[in-house]
Amino acid sequence: MSPVVGKSGTPSAPVFIFDEGSPAFYVDLVTELEVDEHDIVRLSFAAQSVNGDGQTKAVVSVRIRMVSEVAKKLCRDLGKMEHW
């Protein structure tokens, strides 16, 4: 399958976006949310399930590392969802 290509950024500094169909991960929990000394935000999510014996467990599904400016934009964009 060919990747879907998009474009973002500005006319003088375009960013080409390639989407090769990465799987979507379902998550239930935020398991890590930290900012390190280099201003990198670490965010991890886990999917929760129940074992056959009834024990609830959570398995980390995805870890995201981003600079703080990207994390701040993510927060602003998520905040807009409150008005849905």
| Residue 3 belongs to a domain | no
pLDDT category, 84, cuts 50, 70, 90?
A: low
Domain total in the chain = 1
**Does a structural domain hold residue 2?**
no
Does a structural domain hold residue 20? no
From residue 24, how far is each of 20, 21, 32, 62, 68 by CA, in Å?
12, 9, 19, 10, 24
- E-strand stretches of 1-84: 4-9, 14-19, 29-35, 40-50, 56-67
31 lies in some domain: yes
Instruction: Check pLDDT > 70 for residue 60.
Output: yes
**pTM score:** 0.71
Q: Would residue 19 count as lying in a domain?
A: no
Range of the domain at 68: 25-83
Give a yes or no: residue 7 inside a domain: no
Tell me if 69 is assigned to some domain.
Answer: yes
